[in-house]
Amino acid sequence: MRIPRRRRAHRVGLGALALLAVAGGDPPAPAAPAAPIVISAVFADGYAPGDGDEAVQLWNVSAAPVDLRGWSLDDAAAGASFPEAAILDAGARWWIARDAAAFARSFGHPADWAWAGTVPAAGTRRLATLRGGPTLANAGDTVTLRDGAGAAVDAAVYGRPADGAGWAGPPVLPYHPPGIAAAHQVLYRKLAGEPPRPAGDTDRATDWASDPADVRWGRRIRFPGWDVEAVGAPARAREDAAIEVAVAPDALFGFLARHLSAARESVDAMTYTFEHPALCEALAGRARAGVRVRLMVEGRPAGGIDMRQRWCLALLDAAGAAAYWLDAGGDVGPRYRGAHAKLFVVDGRTVLVGSENPGTGAAPDDDRSDGTLGRRGVYVATDAPSVVAWARALVARDLDPDLHVDVRPFQPRDPERGAPAPDYGPDRASGGAGYRPVAPAPLRARGPLAFEWVTAPENAVHPTAGLLGLLARAGGGDEVLVQQLDEPVWWGDGPAEGDAALNPRLQAYVAAARRGARVRLLLDGFFDDPVHWNSNAATVAFVEDLGRREGLDLQARRGNPAGLGLHNKMVLVRLSGATGNAVHWSHIGSLNGSESASKANREVALQVESEAVHGYLARVFAWDWAGSGANASWLPWVGARTAPP
């Protein structure tokens, strides 16, 4: 379905709107559904020709199995009914599709039931149909679940208004901020709790996750292939582990080269781009030595595919590695707006997570006698068993060409993105002069550590866990240090929407300052366009003005500490604790402050509780802060630059 977008209003009343929003409370999570079975998701605007992949999800939210024999799904014009032996277990859910083969192609897993098309033998059962079975109209429809007596158990109205039993108020509409299409979205209910389950059944659009007015549990996006029901909130574990932290550009090249060259069994990597010739040669060398190497990169990166990227993938392919693009597979679109994670799993025992794509800008390998130049960022490596298990499961879900048609193999003969000409040689120049690394050696430590792992699009904006949950704990005597490529004031449609469109991350920083925390935001001033209405410059002006007016220990600056941009996505939080024993958390990963990063991209981040890690990174932040703003030695270049995601 395609919903017309409102025209964006001019930026007016920014300070007043922001002050109101960060001061107000958010609505609590809704109550649990009353009906035992609910319609929990609807996919009407399919990818397949004729919408063969359209589907409805049913969820048993009760504590007992429910026999659906004789129950039916209908759209008023036609229906499909369950035969005998249709027992939906307590807490279980079923996907019911038009065509099981088309559904599996779009979603990456089989449907439980199908009412038309070719039904594969493995796992999918057939529904009986009335008048050919339901047809879910893209523009809008009413889907009703009925029991064996024909009574309505639940209903979902989407796209266009409809009157009748089982629904009240406006229909469910997809949430689609700028850059995110309304087409092909999966509409689904708000989920809460652990494990997650539908959280409310008032027979209104406010029960659904696309609810534009609910800034905590609503304003969500979903496309086929996401596993939001299984992932839930960011998980946490405490265990004895080794940890290593490297700062870019200071020590990143050696850090990545050492970990990749140490592989003896396997390397699984998911990055936005991989364009560093020397690091690619190290990875290809491992593949030639018999190490299983798999790499997936974004198929449509901002600015296009660099020739060095094509050279690197061709080198890996020739060495026996498996190289893939994440991109549309025929009529099925890519699962994510951007494959933006920076994640490596080495030998199934070590995980690397960071803010930087492997390239010469972030990982220069030049002579450091006269300094260097590069992008500021951070990587963390650990052998923590829980983190390794999380990363391996994520790779298994995302990097599987047998399940997901958007995992597209690199084709050397592809004229658009295959191997470059035989006489091509990649530009190996990197670094420069003038920046003296402040963290030339990685930090290494071992001991009992706490970890929390965050993934987008599933749980990056969970209101009580992950980054937002951590920031909610900060108050008097605490400290929050933010170093970020992009942290706009507005999400959604911006000022045209009012308070609901304010960036919840920025609101959380301000709320921490209002509770008495010392808060500092250091944002990129190299790629930032200071005249844009939603730029880092606008954020700095807003934060500085708010801090002065309210007397908060809240400051913001733009900076470029290492000469080629501040590309980091780091948040450091020191909590004094009720007993006076400080707790130190570091959030490290690929998550920018944009809405698409949290809700539509594939992103990963690790939150680590470690005084050593926090102290190491806080010292880097202090150096960067001191040299930024009015004290900047690297002046921002005002003009058209494209920030590498």
Tens-digit pLDDT profile for residues 593-618? 999 999 999 999 999 999 999 999 99
Alpha-carbon distance values, 330 to 47, 99, 106, 297, 313 (Å): 9, 17, 10, 18, 22
Identify whether the C-beta of residue 372 lies closer than 8 Å to the C-beta of residue 437.
yes
Residue 13 has pLDDT above 50, yes or no: no
If you average pLDDT over residues 250-279, what whole number do you get?
A: 98
Identify whether the C-beta of residue 356 lies closer than 8 Å to the C-beta of residue 252.
yes
| Percent of the chain that is helix, strand, coil (3-state, to 5) | 20, 30, 50
Per DSSP, the residues of 170-234 read SPB-----TT--STTPPEEB-EETTTTEE---SSSGGGBTT-TT-TTT-S----TT--HHHH-SP
Using DSSP's 3-state secondary structure scheme, residue 516 falls into coil
Q: Cα(355)–Cα(109) distance, rounded to whole angstroms?
A: 31
Residue 183 has pLDDT above 90, yes or no: yes
Domain range summary for the chain, segments of one domain joined by +: 29-231, 235-409, 450-631
Residue 11 has pLDDT above 70, yes or no: no
Give the lowest-confidence range in 230-234, 287-291, 427-431, 479-483. Answer: 230-234
Q: Cα(595)–Cα(573) distance, rounded to whole angstroms?
A: 22
- In the numeric block, the tokens 């919408």 are attached to 51
Question: Hey, what long-range contacts does 155-163 have (CB within 8 A, 24 or more apart)?
Answer: 155/39, 155/203, 156/39, 156/42, 156/56, 156/187, 157/205, 158/1, 158/42, 158/44, 158/187, 159/1, 159/44
pTM of the model: 0.93
Residues contacting 59, CB < 8 A, separation 6+? 37, 38, 40, 92, 93, 189, 197, 198
How wide is the angle at C-alpha 156 spanned by C-alphas 226 and 70, nearest 5°? 95
Count of C-beta atoms within a 10 Å radius of residue 578:
6
Identify whether the C-beta of residue 482 lies closer than 8 Å to the C-beta of residue 355.
no
- In the numeric block, the tokens 């006698």 are attached to 369
Q: Cα(628)–Cα(630) distance, rounded to whole angstroms?
A: 6
Residue closest to 331 by CA, chosen among 141, 102, 556: 102
Residues contacting 393, CB < 8 A, separation 6+? none
Tens-digit pLDDT profile for residues 207-249? 999 999 999 999 999 999 999 998 889 999 999 999 999 999 9
Identify whether the C-beta of residue 166 lies closer than 8 Å to the C-beta of residue 106.
no
DSSP code at position 339: B
Tens-digit pLDDT profile for residues 381-440? 999 999 999 999 999 999 999 999 999 999 999 999 999 999 999 999 999 999 999 999
Residue closest to 178 by CA, chosen among 5, 46, 17: 5
158: exposed, middle or buried (Cβ count in 10 Å: 0-12, 13-18, 19+): buried
* CATH class of this structure's domain 29-231: mainly beta
How wide is the angle at C-alpha 430 spanned by C-alphas 559 and 419, nearest 5°? 120
Residue 635 has pLDDT above 80, yes or no: no
Residue 374 has pLDDT above 80, yes or no: yes
**pLDDT at 121 (0 to 100):** 59
**pLDDT at 637 (0 to 100):** 40
- In the numeric block, the tokens 């680590």 are attached to 608
- In the numeric block, the tokens 């009986």 are attached to 128
How wide is the angle at C-alpha 266 spanned by C-alphas 261 and 269, nearest 5°? 80
Identify whether the C-beta of residue 297 lies closer than 8 Å to the C-beta of residue 325.
yes
- Name residue 187's beta-bridge partners: 42
Burial code (b: 16+ CB inside 10 Å, e: under 16) for 618-642 equals bebbeebbebbbeeeebebeeeeee
**pLDDT at 419 (0 to 100):** 98
Q: Cα(328)–Cα(309) distance, rounded to whole angstroms?
A: 19
Identify whether the C-beta of residue 152 lies closer than 8 Å to the C-beta of residue 76.
no
If you average pLDDT over residues 352-367, what whole number do you get?
A: 98
Q: Cα(342)–Cα(347) distance, rounded to whole angstroms?
A: 17
- More confident: 173 or 8: 173
Count of C-beta atoms within a 10 Å radius of residue 428:
12
Identify whether the C-beta of residue 58 lies closer than 8 Å to the C-beta of residue 43.
no
Tens-digit pLDDT profile for residues 522-534? 999 999 999 999 9
Identify whether the C-beta of residue 120 lies closer than 8 Å to the C-beta of residue 104.
yes
- Phi, psi (degrees; rounded to nearest 5) at 258: -65, -45
If you average pLDDT over residues 615-638, what whole number do you get?
A: 79
Residue 10 has pLDDT above 80, yes or no: no
Cα dihedral sign, 251-255-256-257? positive
Tens-digit pLDDT profile for residues 82-102? 998 899 999 999 999 999 999
Return the CA Rg of the chain: 25
Identify whether the C-beta of residue 386 lies closer than 8 Å to the C-beta of residue 621.
no
**pLDDT at 200 (0 to 100):** 82
Band of pLDDT at residue 632, cut at 50, 70 and 90: low
Residues contacting 604, CB < 8 A, separation 6+? 341, 342, 343, 353, 391, 394, 453, 454, 455, 456, 589, 590
Tens-digit pLDDT profile for residues 297-332? 999 999 999 999 999 999 999 999 999 999 998 899
Q: Does a cis peptide bond (omega within 30 degrees of 0) precede residue 249?
A: yes
- Copy the structure tokens of residue 163: 């009157």
Q: What does the mean pLDDT of the chain come to?
A: 91
Can 29-231 and 235-409 be said to share one CATH topology? Answer: no
Q: Which CATH number is associated with domain 450-631?
A: 3.30.870.10
Residue 639 has pLDDT above 70, yes or no: no
What does DSSP say about strands 554-559 and 518-524: parallel, antiparallel, or unpaired? parallel
**pLDDT at 29 (0 to 100):** 53
Tens-digit pLDDT profile for residues 442-477? 999 999 999 999 999 999 999 999 999 999 999 999
Identify whether the C-beta of residue 496 lies closer than 8 Å to the C-beta of residue 9.
yes
Identify whether the C-beta of residue 133 lies closer than 8 Å to the C-beta of residue 80.
yes
Identify whether the C-beta of residue 573 lies closer than 8 Å to the C-beta of residue 618.
no
Using DSSP's 3-state secondary structure scheme, residue 236 falls into strand
Identify whether the C-beta of residue 572 lies closer than 8 Å to the C-beta of residue 621.
yes
Give percent above pLDDT 70 in the chain: 91
Residue closest to 154 by CA, chosen among 188, 201, 205: 201
| CATH (one of 3.30.565.10, 3.40.50.150, 3.30.870.10, 1.10.10.10) for 235-409 | 3.30.870.10
If you average pLDDT over residues 561-569, what whole number do you get?
A: 97
